[in-house]
Amino acid sequence: MQLLVASSILSVNTVHGFLLRGDPSPDANRSHFIRLGADYLAYDEQVSAAAAACDPSSVTCRMLRAMRVCGSCAGGAGQLERLGAPYDGGYVTCADAMASAQSALSLGINGVDDWGIAVSEGYGFPVNQYDCTNPKRPLCPSGAAHCELHFFNECLEDGSRKMQPAKTLSQMLARPDVPVPAGDVMLKMDVESAEWGSFKNADLATLRRFNQIAVEFHGLRQMHRHQEFATVVEKLLQAFVVVHTHGNTCCGSFNFQGFTVPNTFEVTFVRKDTAKALPACKVGRPNAHLDMPNHRGRQELPVKLPA
C-alpha cells in the first residue's frame, strides 16, 4: 500500500506465494498456487427486486454498474486464482492471462510484496515494485529459483504531485535503467486513491499495454467524486472487462438506493482480447469462494450492484 505510515504486516517469508487452495492434500499445498475448476464455482448473488430502479442518468448508478462482473478469463472461471498473502495483499487474477504476460508492476507495497514474489517465482518473469512511502526493499526468499524483483522508492503520479518522487504509468513502462520487457504487463495497484488520477491521465495506448489490472479503488462513499469515478471506470471498460471483485474489509460500505458496495473495492480487469464476455453481468459476488477477508476474523462485505 502506498501509505504515509507503515502498518503491521505479515512477514514475506511466512506468507509468500499463498493461494486459496481447493485441495487439502500435502502435495497440493506445497505448490505456489492451484487453480480451482469450474465445478467449484460459487455465487453469492444478492439480486434486488429494485435493481432496475437505479436511474441510469445518475453518476452514482453509472459508477456502480461499471463495476459489475461482466466477463471471465479466456479459459473460463476455472482459470481464476488467488496469489499473494492470505489476508490483505492477496489478489484474484486470471492464470491464463498471467501466463501470457512478460513482466509485472506492483504498485504500493509498503515494504512487503507477497503478491509480487508469488507472481515472479510462479511465472518466472520480473516484477518492478514501487513505493515512495517506505524504503524497505522486499527480497526473494532464499532458494527461489525464478524470483526477480526490482524495487523503486517512487510512488505512482496521479497528477496532484502530492507524493514524491513519483512516476506515471507511461514512465514506469518506459524507464531506461531497468527496461520493462516487450509484451504484455500485469499491473497490481494499491495506492490509496492515486489510482483515480493515474487512470484518468493515462492514454488508452498505455493502458492497453496491461493485459490484466488488479486495483483497489478507494473512497467510493465520496459522492462528490462519483462523476470522476464513473468516468475513470468507463474509460477502463473501453479496453477491459471486469472478471472479479472483492470488498476490502478495512473501511465499511457505501449504500445507495438499496445497493451496496465496499468503500474500498478490489476489482480485477482483463483486456478484452484475452477475456470473454458473460451472457449477463453479475450484480453480487461471483466466485466468492476465492476470496479472503483482508483482516483475520472479519466478515466479508456484501456487494449488491444495479442490474
Output the domain CATH number for residue 264.
3.40.50
Give domain status of residue 164, yes or no.
Answer: yes
Distances (CA, A) of 236 to 25, 142, 200, 281: 39, 38, 9, 16
pLDDT, tens digit, 9 for 90 and up, residues 56-91? 889 999 999 999 999 999 999 999 999 999 999 999
Q: Is residue 160 part of a domain?
A: yes
Mean pLDDT, to the nearest integer, of 246-260? 96
- For 162-184, the pLDDT digits (tens) are 999 999 999 999 999 999 999 99
Residue 226 falls inside a structural domain: yes
| pLDDT-derived band at 6, boundaries 50, 70, 90 | very low
Report d(CA 305, CA 307) in Å as an integer: 6
Contact yes or no for 84/75 (Cβ under 8 A): no
For 85-113, what is each residue's pLDDT tens digit? 999 999 999 999 999 999 999 999 999 99
Q: Is residue 259 one of the residues assigned to a domain?
A: yes
Count of domains in the chain?
Answer: 1
Q: Does some domain include residue 157?
A: yes
Count other Cβ atoms within 10 Å, centred on residue 274.
19
**Residue 20 falls inside a structural domain:** no
Question: Do the domain assignments include residue 296?
Answer: no
Q: In whole angstroms, what separates CA 66 from the centre of its chain?
A: 15
Is residue 4 in a domain? no
pLDDT surpassing 80 at residue 241: yes
Domain that holds residue 182: 44-290
pLDDT at 30 exceeding the cut of 60: no
**CA–CA distance from 96 to each of 4, 80, 113 (Å)?**
35, 8, 22
